[in-house]
Chains A and B, each alone.
Chain A
């Protein structure tokens, strides 16, 4: 008989142990899944988790994919702490890509060194503006931000589709739904030769540190946490929940927008109908896996980025569908949520009518 017994105090070990346990359970289930499909489980796991990062190019690709995940997740985590459920980071990322991309396309023959800074500001502003809509609707009309931010993601995707099929389509592109390629001045400088890793990765690292300082050391970070944990106490302390809604959505939107700018000015180099393979949604998993803490998010983003690379590898080597990535990511979040129960409960194995 297995029972859950409440712990007297939350276990600090399990706060950090739960994500590790979840990863292990995901690996075991993944191995079972691979063998059920008729593949050698150990070889498949090797292909999924080790092979992609066994050379230096693989590592730069890992960092490249971890960059947008980290940026989106750091922003989302601030909101999640304050009970603000922005799940529209994908749309905010798309809007950031659109605003930055529109500038790159409009001044495509510019050689100004100001191009990148301007595009960064545009990306931040685009994502922020898109996130301001759910913030306004939430604070002014009490509309649920989960639904509005998600609906706006679809709107942003169609808007991008409209732009690359219309106003921003490459005039010499044989009617392909793509913008022209960005000029050199609108492309991010590379961090490592012979790779696609750009300076955005460094900026993401900087954002992680900033986010950590903000949450741990500033009044606004403290307010977010109090509003999220005990709304009543926050009310008595005079902290404004509306301010937390605005702050976390604007911050989350800006960082997602920055991630979008990095994608188009980095590995993609133009506007396309699809900018992100769901980074904005996957960032939700990253945020939880990283314990809503910027440093944890950085580690979680590396792991989840690996699941993208691993999915591509097993697709090439075993001709498994790319959807394996999604299955792994979903399982990981499930196991994590389940393992989190061990923070507040302990497993007790024994007979129910214990006398001691």
Chain B
């Protein structure tokens, strides 16, 4: 009896990591974009395009690695459209981001139509002999799929990049004061372009994680608002990578709780339980935004503001 419960618990905790990982990738991508001073509300659209591109690539080649690369490419491609609009044509970032999401939803549904219900074999959890076989700790530490570990590496690398590396500081300078950065001679537009592209690639990866590992299948609109939750996570994290990771795991927990609450014997309508991650997002946003000064001190000062070299 006890053994059974421990196994359920392990399964739930592994599920938390699977729920959190796409949020980590998307939130880190958006965090870098926002640190450069650009608000891209197209996360959901880029995730969907990444999800469908990764899925199609895996169906075509059978290689999950190629799938993830295709997803990054597709996400970055869509992001470059956004970059062109906001950086070259100086369009409103909020409207352009919304356009990106609307477009991404349509394009992914269009290309994915022939793939609904197609079965694939996604990447499996790793298994290291001896280590993974250690009771309890083994599967929890060494029993995830490779992307779960990569998400941690990405968070650490991003934290280092932003606080310790030269280019990370330039990126932050561009986001804090694009005029000053421009005056010193940094290529503001170029840096923002690459930040947007990186954000797109990470969102693509996040989408592919959902279509290749989390579900694994393709369905229209399958990201189900996770892109928006990732956007909220960036605010929740006050633009700090480590806190984004914690936030993502909290949300992963809420998602899994919602899936498992009935198996735990609580009689609540599944439809009402489905609301949980979205209500949690609102609550978290309210709690964190209540302190206006804290947000203002942490948000990149030029977030959402257009930059023109000539004035």
Contacts and interface: CB of A to CB of B under 8 A. Distances in A.
Interface of A: 4, 6, 85, 87, 137, 141-144, 146-148, 150-152, 154-155, 158-159, 161-162, 165-166, 281-282, 284-285, 288, 321, 323-331, 333-334, 337-338, 340-341
A288 B95 contact: yes
Interface stretch (B28-36, B86-94, B134-142, B180-188): B86-94
B110 A324 contact: yes
Q: Do most interface residues of chain B lie in helix, strand or loop, or is the interface mixed?
A: helix
Contacts of A141: 286, 289-290
Interface string B77-103: 000010001001111101110110011
B211 to A, nearest CB: 16
Contacts of A155: 275, 278-279
Contact of B269 (A4, A148, A162): A162
B278 A151 contact: yes
Contacts of B286: 137, 141, 143, 148
Nearest to B81: A334
A142 B295 contact: yes
A334 B271 contact: no
A87 B98 CA distance: 9
Nearest to A156: B275
B228 A284 contact: no
- Per CB-CB distance, the 10 closest pairs between chain A and chain B, nearest first, are A326-B106, A330-B103, A323-B109, A162-B271, A323-B110, A333-B99, A321-B113, A341-B89, A327-B106, A161-B271
A356 B41 CA distance: 43
Interface string B258-284: 000000000001011011001101100
B269 A166 contact: yes
A151 B102 contact: no
B210 to A, nearest CB: 16
A178 B271 CA distance: 14
A159 B220 CA distance: 21
Q: Do most interface residues of chain A lie in helix, strand or loop, or is the interface mixed?
A: helix
A329 B109 CA distance: 13
Interface string B52-73: 0000000000000000000000
Contacts of A284: 98, 102
Given A137-B282, A151-B228, A142 B110 contact: no
B92 A151 contact: no
A142 B94 contact: no
B106 A337 contact: no
Given A321-B110, A327-B107, A341 B102 contact: no
B292 interface: yes
Given A141-B289, A152-B282, A330-B103, 8 more contacts: A142-B295, A148-B282, A154-B278, A158-B275, A158-B278, A284-B102, A326-B102, A334-B85
Contacts of A325: 106
